[in-house]
Amino acid sequence: MKTLKYCPNCGQEIKGKENGSFPDSCENCGLNFKEREKKIEKLTRKAQRREVNYADFFQRVTAFFIDSIIISSLTWIVMSLIHIPIIIQDPIAFYTSFYYFWIAIFLNWVIGFFYCCLLEAYNNGQTIGKKILRICTLDENTFEVGSPEQYAITNLLKTSPFLLIDFIVGFLISDRDSDKILRYLQHLSKTVVIKIKS
């Protein structure tokens, strides 16, 4: 809490206690200094959010589409390298099998998870797709690069078949006037996607 010399409500001088600490409220009018500071911080965050340009739906989907192409290509390369002997014998049977389908989904999720997490955590909140679209994922309170844990949470289902559920739940719990939260895990990780100023 910032040290106040006078009460901002009534003007009463604020005197420190014998142990050197300051009171939590004004002795004259009863104003709670901690609650006041919380309100100021909340208003400051709201003012910051008004100055921030959040990425729109089209930008986010386009970035995701670009990243999906990259992730799918990496998945195909890994799958092909792992199964070279089988592919040489009968490539058509392999690529049209249910085995390939389910393994590809799993590998796509794993590769996509690490691709998004590592790039966003250590590349200023940007994957390759987001870098092209000039958007980035940041902490919703500080608007700085988030922690690896935050990026792990927000990207947990991004490249999985459960992404649609993430969107639906996010839509149901979000403020309908909010343009910053599109997915539930984004809400849970306390991250936002913003436009990068030119």
Q: Over the stretch 16-59, which tens digit does the pLDDT of each residue have?
A: 665 556 677 787 787 787 777 777 666 565 555 556 889 999 99
Q: So what's the pLDDT on residue 164?
A: 92
Any idea what DSSP says for residue 12? P
Q: So what's the pLDDT on residue 177?
A: 47
Q: What mean pLDDT value characterizes the chain? A: 85
* pLDDT tier for residue 182 given thresholds of 50, 70 and 90: confident
Q: So what's the pLDDT on residue 8?
A: 74
Q: So what's the pLDDT on residue 21?
A: 67
- Give the start-end residues of each E strand in the chain: 135-139, 191-195
- C-alpha pair distances (Å), 129 with each of 56, 57, 58, 85, 168: 14, 14, 12, 34, 23
Q: So what's the pLDDT on residue 139?
A: 94
The pTM of this model reads 0.70
Q: In sequence order, what are the residues at sequence separation of 6 or more whose Cβ sits closer than 8 angstroms to the Cβ of residue 184?
A: 166, 169, 170, 173
Out of 17-26, 95-104, 146-155, 163-172, pick the least confident: 17-26
